[in-house]
Amino acid sequence: KKHARVLTLDFRMGKRGPARTPTKALKLAGSRRADEREEHEPQPPPGAPDMPGGLSDGAVAEWDRMVAVLGDTPGLLTKVDGPALALLCRSLDRVAKLYKWTLRNKSVAQGTTGQPIQHPKVKEYERERDHCAGLLGQFGLTPAARSRVAVAEPKRTTAKGRFFTA
């Protein structure tokens, strides 16, 4: 009986290099690269997204907290950020639950042959923690990520300036 060779392609690899800086952020920083780019970047409507269904109680609490924190900075949270924000809130809730588990239980388990091994829940916690850290960075919620976030200041207008544009 002949065995067929199976070719599998795995396309899970991310893009190389640092994430592209938005044109608005380049303009705010005074970069000459902003003028070289075409401005075809999407402009989603600002504001808090609607909370999706299916979030656990802990994730709902994180949602409320994150919307309050991110909503304080104009232009940082948009209506289309709901799915990414839901992922972050679920991850924060899961990390908190797994962390509590690691505090209450032993981090060492017994392997199949009796040898001591790291408990699978500890590895699960570490994996989820790293995933959560990446999501926090996407929203500029870590010190390093905050240095890369540029948000436009709201325009101040005078009483007459409301009716005239520059």
Residue 85 CA to its chain's centroid (Å):
7
Domain range summary for the chain, segments of one domain joined by +: 49-153
Query: What pTM value is reported for the model?
Result: 0.70
| DSSP string for residues in 2-53 | PPPP----------SSSPPPPHHHHHHHT-THHHHS------PPBSPPPPPT
Reading the chain (166 residues) residue by residue, the pLDDT tens digits are: 555 555 555 555 566 777 777 676 677 677 777 777 666 667 788 889 999 999 999 999 999 999 999 888 777 888 999 999 999 999 999 999 999 999 999 999 988 999 999 999 999 999 999 999 999 988 888 888 777 766 655 556 666 665 665 5
